[in-house]
Amino acid sequence: MLFNLFRRNKKREHPYAHLPVPEKPDWSVLGADMHSHFLPGIDDGAKNNADTVALLKGMEQMGFTHLITTPHTMIDHHPNTTHTIRAAHDVALSLIKEHGIKLDLRAASEYYIDDHFTKLLATEPLLTIQKNEVLVEFSMMFEPPILAQTLFNMQASGYKPIIAHPERYLFFHKNYDKYQELKDRGCYLQLNLLAITGYYGQHIKAIADRLLDEGMYDYCGSDAHNERHVGALAGLACSPDYHRIANYPFRNKTLTGR
Ligand SMILES: [Fe+2]
């Protein structure tokens, strides 16, 4: 038992443990966030224009300069289309101008993998994070039977899937090899930053810690829907874990043109 205790403690140490904890939240090291729900009134994120303004100001104050916001495209709950997303993006851009917010705000989508997505993929261009990269999510409880085929179809259509929050898919937890399999299939993996704080539960944090420590992630994102999420992100920036994020080679910087 003592041995286990020692092993656990030893595992928690990381090479940045000696660095001072920042006093003020500053995510300028990332520059860009590529997963959020900031467009007004079209999904379970910002409810209205006032919410959008508050969330964007919060991100600006934490040093983000570029946001690719990603409303859900999920036919059962948030039946967005390229048209609804572009229209809400236009509203957000006018709010940015009106309120003097200094952010480069682009819009893509977080596509939910289901039969509707299969149809979309076959019939119209998808909104991309950049180049050919498309953010996708799927059920957190059950592995969709069409997952492998859909990821293959996306690549056959010239897209590179970015798997949103892989740490949150419970059925992968006991099948850790699946993560490498997704990477071998050519997918990028995107960490939800709040997973590291334990926001989604300790078992999800444990998987996120392991994926991070093993260098499995490609992007990180806030997946912020509301001010509580933005506040928690500020908390992470002022915690010892900040340095684990700041020193990890996330691809987010490629979104800023830096
Ligand atoms: Fe999301």
3-state secondary structure at position 155:
helix
CA 223 / ligand 1 centre spacing (Å): 5
What is the predicted pLDDT for the residue at 173? 94
Expressed in angstroms and rounded, the spacing between residue 252 Cα and the centre of ligand 1 is: 16
- HSE, CB side, 13 Å, CA atoms: give it for residue 38: 36
d(CA 27, CA 103): 14
DSSP state of 169: -
Residue position matching structure tokens 């509580």: 228
pLDDT per residue of the chain (258 residues) written in tens, 0 to 9: 444 444 444 455 677 878 888 989 999 999 999 999 999 999 999 999 999 999 999 999 999 999 999 999 999 999 999 999 999 999 999 999 999 999 999 999 999 999 999 999 999 999 999 999 999 999 999 999 999 999 999 999 999 999 999 999 999 999 999 999 999 999 999 999 999 999 999 999 999 999 999 999 999 999 999 999 999 999 999 999 999 999 999 999 999 986
Q: Determine contact, residues 5/39, Cβ cutoff 8 Å.
A: no
Nearest one of 144, 52, 155 to 97, comparing CA atoms: 52
For the record, the structure tokens of 250 come out as 């996330």
**Closest among 104, 89, 98 to 59, alpha carbons compared:** 104
**How far does the centroid of ligand 1 lie from the alpha carbon of residue 238, in Å?**
23
How remote is the CA of residue 72 from the centroid of ligand 1, in Å?
Answer: 7
Say if CB 234 and CB 21 are below 8 A apart. Answer: no
Nearest by Cα to 191 from 180, 202, 203, 204: 204
How far does the centroid of ligand 1 lie from the alpha carbon of residue 135, in Å?
Answer: 9
223 touches 194 (CB < 8 A):
yes
Domains of the chain listed by start with CATH number: 23-255 (3.20.20.140)
Instruction: Give me 164's structure tokens.
Output: 């949103």
**How many A from CA of 117 to the centre of ligand 1?**
16
Q: What is the CA radius of gyration of the chain?
A: 18
C-beta separation of 37 from 43 below 8 A: yes
As residues whose CB is below 5 A from the ion ligand 1, the structure lists 110, 223
pLDDT of residue 11: 53
Give residue 18's pLDDT: 82
